[in-house]
Amino acid sequence: MTPAASGALALAAQVRAGERSAASVLEESLAAIRGRDPELHCFNALADAHARERADEVDRLVASGTDPGPLAGVPVALKDNICTRSAPTTCSSRILAGWTPPYDATVVSRLAAAGAVVVGKTNLDEFAMGSSTENSATGPTRNPWDTGRVPGGSSGGSAAAVAAGMVPVALGSDTGGSIRQPAALCGVVGVKPTYGVVSRYGLVAFASSLDQIGPLATTVAEAAAVLEAIAGHDDRDSTSLEQAAPRCSEVLDDGARGLRVGVVADFLADASPDCTGAVRAAADVLAGHGASVEEVALPELLHGLSAYYLIAPAEASSNLARYDGVRYGLRVDAPDVETMNGRTRAAGFGPEVKRRVMLGTYVLSAGYYDAYYAQAQRVRTLVARAFARAYAGVDVLLAPTTPSVAFPLGSKTSDPLEMYLADLFTIPSNLAGHPAMSVPFALGEGGMPVGVQVLAPALGERAMFRAAAVVESGADPRARGPVPARGAR
């Protein structure tokens, strides 16, 4: 059995009880990675030497009677935009190839404090810009359900690693759906927490006002456990919330009785029948467990996509300015510094990053700011107001995570706008700073997994996890990773 198949919580319980060693769990994980990664390319780098030290440390703690923490010995994969001392952090970009940060992200320290063992860094769309993990300087990741299809993105490496059973849990980052969309496409659970619940310190910024780190796991309970380990105020992140992070594990058995659920009607028309059907079936499951279910009209949410593709590139154009060849990463030499900057960036960034940096630079320019960036901020406010209207009457919203199941590799790479539509249903939660998560629910077209999205208002994680646990209980168990190796179909 792979570590993922055992489940993170079962593994941690065994390690804490001294029934299994963290070292053996790690070796199983590394073996699974060696077995499947050449085909899937989930990982950019392994931190195996450091991971072995960490696992031994966990085992020593257990032997000495000290509890290593709730995730004792659990192997975790980190999206390669989360800074680690133990392995390079490249954002799947040539411009950061080989760069090892001199510090750990806050989530890395918190995982360590919880006893988890970081095994390596997973592939992503360069700087998290994309929805298929094809925009990677290290090559695309493949979907373990069907290696001819994409795993989604940008946290495609993390989602595929969990779905393939290499690790039981992983961390991703979600700026416009980058955790939830690949989770849905790979048949795993993916959570984007409320903005500010998880520290961004050490997360390489894409769009700072939207980025949020969150867990990917095979079950809702494991996702809750990982979220609790990494959440909470951090003095190093000024946007980190002061409030204590919501405790989600304790509500998983609370059922749906009395829960008020809204189905986002506007999204159903834009999704494929298998995705729409999954949402309706999930709503029935919730109703069957005593929730009240109603459809809500939120047409403003569909405008979120346009606003997002102005705000996120604007912030990205500024966040990515520092990759100038002066201090770290790639440098292409030139006679003067401006030329060096230009050549370095031309050689270091891939086409999608360049597209967004140019778009973002344009929308912030004098003379265009009001028409684009300021207008997008107004739309962002409209989206937040629409959500507020809905949450006056319901506790959570139900929606498709994606418009369709995983699509074939290469099918959308030539049309950026088509690719951007993959995030249509996930973007509004980022704009509002709300939590949302994807739960694998059914099999759809081509036997591929379909996810259902549960959305909640800011700091509404407890209601969200409650609903998600009920949805999970009514899901088709075949829709959930890990999946055995099957290859392309």
Partner 1 sequence: MSGGARAGEDAAIEGVAGYEVVVGLEVHCELSTATKLFCGCANAFGAPPNTQVCPVCLGLPGSLPVLNRRAVELAMRIGSALHCEIRPSTFHRKNYFYPDMPKDYQISQYDEPVNADGYLELPGGARVGIERAHIEEDTGKTTHVGGGGRIHDADHSLVDYNRAGVPLVEIVSRPDIRGAEQARSYVSELRAVLVATGASDGRMEEGSLRVDANVSVRREGSEGLGTRCEVKNLNSLRSLGRAIDFEAERQVAVLRSGGRVVQETRHWDEDEGRTSSMRSKEEANDYRYFAEPDLVPLVPDEELLERATRAMPVLPAARRVRLSALVGDDTAADQVTTVVDLGLDDLVVAAAALGADASLALRRAANEAAQRPEQARRIDAGVFARLLSLESAGTLSATQSKAVLAEVLESGGDPEEIARRLGFEALPAAELEAVLDEVVASHPAEWERYVGGDDKVAQLLTGLVMRATRGRANGKAVAAALASRRA
Interface residue list for partner 1 (CB under 8 A): 81-83, 89, 91, 96, 99, 101-103, 105, 200-205, 207-209, 235-239, 314-315, 317-318, 321-322, 324, 326-328, 336-338, 341, 361, 364-366, 369, 373
Quick one: 117 or 204, whose CB is closer to partner 1? 204
Percentages (nearest 5) of helix, strand, coil residues in the chain? 45, 15, 45
> In the beta sheet, which residues pair with residue 231?
198
Read off the DSSP letter of residue 164. T
Quick one: 277 or 369, whose CB is closer to partner 1? 369
Residue 21 bears catalytic tag: no
Tell me the closest approach of the beta carbon of residue 429 to partner 1, in angstroms.
17
List the catalytic residue out of 6, 29, 79, 155.
79
List the catalytic residue out of 21, 154, 249, 317.
154
Tell me the closest approach of the beta carbon of residue 369 to partner 1, in angstroms.
8
Tell me the closest approach of the beta carbon of residue 80 to partner 1, in angstroms.
11
Q: Which two tokens stand for residue 290?
A: 């005593």
Quick one: 228 or 315, whose CB is closer to partner 1? 315
Residue 191: alpha-carbon gap to chain centroid: 7
Tell me the closest approach of the beta carbon of residue 164 to partner 1, in angstroms.
27
Cα 435 to Cα 457: distance, rounded to the nearest angstrom: 7
Whether residue 434 contacts residue 455, with contact meaning beta carbons closer than 8 Å, is answered with: yes
Tell me the closest approach of the beta carbon of residue 300 to partner 1, in angstroms.
22
Tell me the closest approach of the beta carbon of residue 435 to partner 1, in angstroms.
19
No. of H helices and E strands in the chain? 17, 11
Q: Which of 432, 352, 445, 456 is nearest to 403 (CA)?
A: 445
Quick one: 158 or 341, whose CB is closer to partner 1? 341
For every residue of 331-363, DSSP letters joined together read ----SSHHHHHHHHHHHHS-HHHHHHHHHHHHH
Quick one: 47 or 72, whose CB is closer to partner 1? 47
Tell me the closest approach of the beta carbon of residue 344 to partner 1, in angstroms.
11
- Please state the φ and ψ torsions of residue 53, each to the nearest 5 degrees: -60, -45
List the catalytic residue out of 178, 199, 249, 404.
178
Sign of the four-CA dihedral 465, 466, 472, 475: negative
Write 414-418 long-range contacts (CB < 8 A, 24+).
Answer: 416/352, 416/355
Residue 178 bears catalytic tag: yes
Q: How far is CA 355 from CA 210, 224, 248, 340, 361, in A?
A: 19, 36, 39, 20, 10
What angle (nearest 5°) sits at the alpha carbon of residue 160, between those of residues 159 and 163?
90
Q: Which of 371, 325, 369 is nearest to 346 (CA)?
A: 325
Tell me the closest approach of the beta carbon of residue 89 to partner 1, in angstroms.
7
Quick one: 82 or 399, whose CB is closer to partner 1? 82
Mutual angle of helices 48-63 and 8-16, in 10-degree steps: 50
| Coil/strand/helix, residue 64 | coil
Residue 79 bears catalytic tag: yes
Quick one: 250 or 338, whose CB is closer to partner 1? 338
Q: How far is CA 271 from CA 415, 423, 451, in A?
A: 19, 11, 12
Cα 315 to Cα 19: distance, rounded to the nearest angstrom: 48
Quick one: 306 or 377, whose CB is closer to partner 1? 377
Question: Any idea which residues carry the catalytic annotation?
Answer: 79, 154, 178
